Every structure is written in structure tokens, then in C-alpha cells.
Structure 1
Amino acid sequence: MEAEVPDETDAAHLRAAGRPEGVAAAGRLAQAMVDQGLPELLALHEARAGDTSP
């Protein structure tokens, strides 16, 4: 995509032909991170909820 965006502006990046594929890949990565992180976040939250120390 770099070759498609010679002026490196936000507007040029938004018009780049490869943008939909990049957004789709970023979405899949974000979903994988959420799927893997939620159980760990829940465990941390539950551990802190049970902690009575200040």
C-alpha cells in the first residue's frame, strides 16, 4: 500500500486501493486479541474483587 500513497497524508491513505483489505486484517487481529484477552481480564477482575486489602 505504501507505493499507492506517495504523499503520506491521512486523506491519501483513506483513498488507497488496499485500504479495505488492511481494515479487514486489522479487524480480524482485534477480534483475536479480544477473544484471547477476555478470559484473562475476567480472571484479573475476579481476583481483584475478592481482594479486601486497600
Structure 2
Amino acid sequence: MAGGVDDPLIHLNLGEAYSRVGNYRQAEKSLRAYLKAKPKDVDARLRLAAVYRK
């Protein structure tokens, strides 16, 4: 089975979902958790920057 509780993509998807509903604090937390596992993901860094702009 691919993925799981420790799958970084869960944090990325949560960050996107939180951002869409305006929960920017949780979006930041989730995106930062994702970036700990995938620090070179430029798209995720841009998503985090968008959260900071809000």
C-alpha cells in the first residue's frame, strides 16, 4: 500500500485544503511539515509563500 500516515503528501494536501478554506495557520503548519521531508520542492515553497501573503 502506497502512502500512509507518515506520507509527506498528506501534509501537502492538507496545507492546500486549509489554505482554500482560509485556515492559514494550519496551512502553514502542514506545508512546513511537508517541506521538512521535501525541502527542495519549489512548488510547495511557493504555496507557503502564498499563505504568508494572506
TM-score interval, smaller chain: 0.3 to 0.5
> Higher relative contact order by CA 8 Å / sep ≥ 6: 1 or 2?
2
**TM-score for the superposition, normalised by structure 1:** 0.32
**TM-score for the superposition, normalised by structure 2:** 0.32
Larger radius of gyration: 1
